[in-house]
Each structure stands twice: as C-alpha cells, then as structure tokens.
Structure 1
C-alpha cells in the first residue's frame, strides 16, 4: 500500500512538474525574468549579479565579508546579496522557477539539488570547472557527492563545505572508567555498557529516536556492516542481513544503555540532554561543538569521526554537501562564474568554513591552521579526504526526504520500543526505496 501511495504521489508530481515547465517556457520566454525555461547569456563579465544565500541570517556576516573582498578584486562587478533562511530556500527556488526571478548564483545543498536540477533550472559546471583554477583543488568525495545527487551525473554545484557525523564523548568519564577512546565499534559498545548505571541516572549513550533519526541509524548500520554501496543493481542494500544485524545491535542499546526519553528526542533535545547530564557518548555532527564547549568546558569532551571496524576501515553515509549553483536563466554568467570561483578559492573557502565550523571543500583551505587547531574539524577533514568509504545516499530520488523522514521515523520508534523488528523495519524501508528507484529509472 505504501509503495502505491509513493507511486501515485510521484506521478502527480511528474504531471505537475510538466505543467510547471510548460507554463514557465511559455510565460517567461527570454524576457530576463529568470524562470527555468530561460537560457540566459554569458554577458560581459561586468555589471551586477544576484546571489541567494541558502542559510541567510546564520551566514550573512561572513558572506558579506567575502562579497566585499570579491568586489575589491573585481570593482566592475556588483554582487546583490539576498539572505534566505534555510527553512525557506526550497520553496523560494520552486516559486522562482515557476514564476521567474531566479538569481545568477545560489547556495544549494545536495539534499535538495535533485529537485531544482530536475526542473531544468541549473547550468552544468563541468566544462567551466575543468578549465578553472579550482580544477584538482576540490575534495574528490565532495565532488562525487554532488554528481551523485544530480539527475544525470553532471556537476551542478561547486562544493564549498560539508558537515560530518561526529561521535562526541566525555573524556572525563572515559578516563575515570579506564576506557579506551571509542574509535572502533567494539570500543563504542564496551563503553556504552560500562558507563551505564541506570540507578544513578548515568548512561553510556544517547540515541536519536525523534525527528532526524533515520539518517543517524543508517550511518550506524553501514558503519558496522562495512557495506559500501547503497544499491546492488536496482535493489537497495538497507535490508542486507549484515545491516539488519547492525541495526538490531544498535537499537538494542535503547533503555539498556540510553535514557528512555531518547525515543522522542530530536537533535536539540539530545544535545541538551548530553550537555547537562552524565551520558558518555552522543552521535551528532560538527555543528554542536560550541554547545558542548559552553556547557562542559575544554578538556571534558572530544569529537571524533564515527567509529571504524576493528581492522581500521571506516564506512559512513554521505552528509549533504553545500555548494554554489549557477542558474541557466542568468544573463551575466561570466561574472557569476568569477564569483563562484572566488568564493570556492582557498582564502574565501577557508574564511567561510572557519566561521561555520565545517569542513572546507577546497583542499588547500582544509590544511589551514584553524582546521589543525580545531581537532573535531581536523579529524573530519582527514576522514572525508582520506580512505573513508562514503555510502552515497540517494538524494536524487524525488521521494528521498519523505521516505527517510516522515514515512519512517514513527516506524523506527516502534523498533526502539520492541513493537517492530529491525528486519521488518528495513524490509519496509527497502520496499519503498526500490519502488522509488524503479520509478526514477523509468523517467531517466
């Protein structure tokens, strides 16, 4: 039943999208209003361009610094900055694709790249990148993530940064218990058990059971199973027996080595609970570093990439890669490309990522002093730039966000509560993903 619902929703989306594109092509034509049907122009490389920041408010200050630096280097180009809050960027792009008014350059994460690319709004950047000073200087895993997220294997954004899954642990509690760093899954489970004393409200781990739980569970599964691809042909590997066993071991931690409140905790509640309690470990990402520093102080905690297998090999699922896209409708693509190149160059990329506390896409920026001083970021950069095997999540599927969030978060809670088995949960997830992949293949 679930699969047919997905198919009918996809069919409706396809019809609506076809109508939108037809209307856009008719209504916008080449009047410069910036809809998806416009072809744009290279322009003179001078004049003004518009840039949409996809995390407006949060990253406005650093972008204004980069824009000032750019305009100093290119005084004949003016960048008009528009800050769009992260929660509203998808709908703003969709509205502009339908009705006109797209920017020349826009911030775009791989988690929503497919939907924008599928509507024909983006300019492929492979040719420009191959001739650019950026060629060979961008993180290969990030570039692969961008290509995997598109609809046709082309590069639709120049990657600028990525977050990474991070296992935060209380160094003070580990030291007192005589435990080794939880850098392997074996050490992780040993620590989760040893640091738990439910009578004293002490727990080894906090598990994410509320909103956003699926991606974290997938990371734990693939990290333990060592399976390095999300697909085997057109069938997903999520319900491979190795993944089933890994998920069962992980979810069995609930209430045994974790607080019972975890079943409803999203990342905000989970982070607050870890910062204010006596819990040994927390899986989140680099973004919560400042929260931990403020609550616990230096020397009480450490952040490392997700654990490895006992042989030292690391497998993790992809995190969304943030990047800069050029829109087809732009009438000054030469100037737009200069801005993208500048923003992704060593100095600018380093400045932006230091402000955000994320991993730079520019390989030279990833070697800068601030990265080396920030141990969690340094370790994440090494993991993402080294031999880590990245399982690319299928961001290109139109239903990915629905399947991996609203459709299955309640089902995951049933696994934690013992009302559904790990196998049953993953079989249902696999059925939905295989149907979505089949529909996607039919249309491509």
Structure 2
C-alpha cells in the first residue's frame, strides 16, 4: 500500500499536516484495505461497475454506448452509476477509504482531480495497455500530454483521454459585418472590435468578461494567449507574473467598464453567457460548452467562434490546458480485462465521436476528426484543429498541486475583483498568486 501523503490535505502546512497524514495512514491501515490493492485481471467476462463522473447530463449517451458494448460483448454486463459532477471527487475519496468493494472497475476521471486519485494509488497505469490496444497512436497528443502532466508523472498515464474543452472567442458575425470589422483572429482585431462595438449610451458593449466565480482561469487564458509564454513554470518558479503576462492582464482588465458592462464584476460563467446571449454584446471568451446556448439565441448565421489568437502574426498559438475528461481503470478491480475492454470500446473512434457529439466537446480519438458533425460545427472543428496542430503550445496548468483550486479560486477571486475595480494593480495580483503557487510547488516537490 502506498503511504497516504500530504497531498490529501491541501490547505494544511507543517507539523499539523504531518499529524493529519499519519492519522490518515493509520486509519487506512486499520481498515485493512485502502482501495489501492492490485486487484486482478479476472476472466474478461461477468459484471463490471462504471461510475459516470457527470451523471445526469450524460446519462442518456452513456446508456446508449453501454447498450452497444453489451451487444458486442454479451458476456459482460455493465452496471452504470451516475455521480453528480459536484460530488465526484469526494465520492471517490470516500470509496477509496472504504476499500475495494466500494470502488468501481471503471470511472470517469477529469484532469482537475486526477492527481488526487494517483497519489492515493487508486488507479491502474494504462500506458502499456494503450500501446497494446487499438488505441495506439489514435489519441490527440496534446490531450495525452495533459493527462500525463495532471497525474504528476510524465512517464505514465492514469486515464484514457476521451474529450477536452477549449477556450473560444465567440463573436456576433452580424454585428461585426454591420461595422465592417474583421473576425477577432488577432489581438489587434479583438481590441479594435471591443472598442468599436461599444456604445455605452445605448447600452451596447464590445465584450463581456468574467469577474465572479471562475474568473482567474479565464484571465489566465487571455494572459498566456496574448503573451506567447508557452510554459507555466520556469524551473520551479511560475511564469504567471512574467512582465509579458502582467502587461497582458493589464490590457485585458482595461476593458472593464470601458468596453464591458459594469455588471461583469460579479459574473460567473452562467451570468456571463446569459448576458451575452441577450444580444447587445459583440464578443465573449468562454469554452465550447456554451455553443448550443449561442445557437439558440442567435442562430447559426449570427454567431461564430474562433480559437484564442496567437500572440502575434507568425507565432505559435499558446493556449492553457482545459480539463481533459477520461476513463480510469481502478487498481482494485477484480475484472480488469473486462473493464479494459469497456474503456477501449468507449474510446474507439465511433463511440468517442458519438459521445462528444452529444456533449459538444472535442473528441480525443483522432479518427473522429472528419466525422460529419464536426464538419458542421465550425467552432468545434477549429478547436480540434488548433489542439491537434503540432505548432500549438499548451501551457499545462498545475492541476496536480493540492492547493491549485484554493489558490486559483477561493483565495484570490476577491483580489481579481479588486484589480477590476482599480484597488489592486495587475502586478500586485500576479505577484501574490505567483508567490503562493511557488510555495505550493516547492511543498509538492518536497513531499512527492
């Protein structure tokens, strides 16, 4: 059994963390099995349990895929268990402490909490299985890289990627056409359009930004795309407060109240998308997940989406890693052979395409790229092309850090609002967040 390490207590430091870690380790030992035992390959037949990590919105498509799988493999039965997305990480943690019988054979696993499962030794490495399967060479490289990075082990993979999202600049083609503006495929075009589409007296704005929950990750997308900095770390120090990123953040927040509504200060993604879809705003930066909302609001002829522009003409595109969804094989499974058959089937080109068409995400299987639905969804096609482009540089956000969510969300979102209000400078904000990230990185390296 791997020792339960400090990663499990992300907000505790020093001696207190050691004490809690020892308590967890002793508790897991007392239970006799923390879910990290090696399980077995099994017969390749019989029943397996699958946990859907976003049960509800995806239930129908998973049941369709499961039915097709059971038709192909009539000797395998899949028990489907939908888990609400907000509960999935705690559900896994509780099950790991409960032991083998509490865990599924296969589970949906996102990169945002992958490291938490890896450090508890709950997942089976899958790199060798991929190499020996029909998935060899069939997975988008940048998604594979994100999975490796998120697991904190660049030599191994602990989930099979199935889909990803990506930051997109959405824009109203009808408003751009009326003003004779080019598409926001460069930052000069973007900022020019933001100004020219704004008429505060008529309550029309060129852009809407996210100032509430989730604001920092979105700001990072804008920063790294503009700066062209293509790595999150320079040694053990983050590049977040590099002068080029600070300058990019200054330009981004400079839009607030000048070319954006003042209500943006408290926007989470739901409010931001709803505000854009009311019809008086020219541009929005969000991911592909809001595409269907925009289509309902405007129709296909009045909305378009492009990947985040490169920092300058001729430069490679730099995009921050969006969470990659995937399927994990749990180490405690007593029927890994059957569980792997299910993973391989679900990640195959046909099923992966079917699933991503339903949820509106980017398929991980490269053979899905030319499927009709992608050709008919230009923003998704453009996102897939940019993500698959070998010139594209993906800035891997450190999801593996136990303190990542605390630092990049709860602890600093109020400070980002201070930047928007002019009560804190962009440099002060970046320096504060960078200091906390550098400390978290040093802490992680010391205890990993």
- TM category (shorter chain) comes to over 0.9
Residue 323 (1) aligns with residue 323 (2): no
**Secondary structure at the counterpart of residue 227 of structure 1:** coil
Q: 2:369 aligns with which of 366, 371, 375?
A: 366
Aligned to 1:398: 402
Aligned partner of residue 366 in structure 2, secondary structure: coil
Q: Deviations over 1:253-297 (max 9, x none)?
A: 100110000010001111111100311100011111111111112
Q: For structure 1, which segment, 9-18 or 66-75, has the greater mean C-alpha deviation from structure 2 after superposition? A: 9-18
1:21–1:36 contact (8 Å) kept in structure 2: no
Deviation for aligned residue 1:376:
0.8
One of 347, 352, 364 as aligned partner of 1:349: 352
How many Å separate the matches in 1 of 2:125 and 2:95? 19
- CA contact under 8 A between 1:44 and 1:335: conserved in structure 2? yes
Counterpart of 2:180 (choices 168, 174, 178) is 178
Pick closer, same or farther for the CA change 1:22–1:125 going to 2, 3 Å. Answer: farther
Report how far residue 22 of structure 1 moved: 3.7
In 2, distance between residues paired with 1:442 and 1:240? 25
1:126 aligns with 2:130: no
Measured in 1, the distance between the counterparts of 2:268 and 2:163 equals 24
- Give the structure-2-normalised TM-score: 0.95
Q: Counterparts of 2:237 and 2:11 in 1: how far apart (Å)?
A: 17
Give the structure 2 partner of residue 142 of structure 1.
Answer: 143
**1:333: which partner in 2?**
336
Which residue does 1:430 correspond to in 2?
Answer: 434
Please name the residue that 1:53 is paired with: 52
Q: Distance between the aligned counterparts of 1:159 and 1:421, measured in 2?
A: 38
* Residue 237 (structure 2) aligns with: 235
Q: Is 1:375 the counterpart of 2:366 in the alignment?
A: no
1:299-349 Cα offsets, whole Å, 9 max, x none, are 111111112233143111000000000111110011111110000001110
1:191-206 map, 5 Å: 191-206=193-208
C-alpha distance after superposition, 1:44-63 (max 9, x if no partner): 11111100000001100100
Q: What aligned pairs does 1:17-28 form with structure 2 within 5 A after superposition?
A: 17-28=21-32
Partner of 1:364, secondary structure, is helix
Match in the other structure for 2:63: 64
Aligned partners of 1:70 and 1:342 also within 8 Å = yes
Structure 1: runs of 5+ lacking an equivalent? 30-34
For residues 347 and 237 of structure 2, what CA distance do their matches in structure 1 show? 36
Counterpart CA distance in 2 for 1:155 and 1:13 is 28
What's the CA shift for 1:19? Answer: 3.3
Q: Aligned to 1:393, what secondary structure does the other structure show?
A: coil
Contact 1:6–1:432 under 8 Å retained in 2: no
Counterparts of 2:122 and 2:243, CA distance in 1: 40
Aligned to 1:102: 103
CA contact (8 A) 1:45 1:334 kept: yes
Q: How many angstroms apart in 1 are the aligned matches of 2:312 and 2:299?
A: 31
Gap regions ≥5 residues in structure 2 = 1-8
Following superposition, the deviation at residue 79 of structure 1 comes to 0.6
Deviations 1:130-184 (A, max 9, x none): 1111010000000000000013222000000001111100001000001000011
TM-score (norm 1): 0.95
Note the C-alpha offset of 1:366: 2.1
Matched residue of 1:405: which SS?
helix
Q: 2:218 aligns with which of 210, 216, 219?
A: 216
What does residue 418 of structure 2 align with?
A: 414
Alignment of 1:259-278 (within 5 A): 259-278=261-280
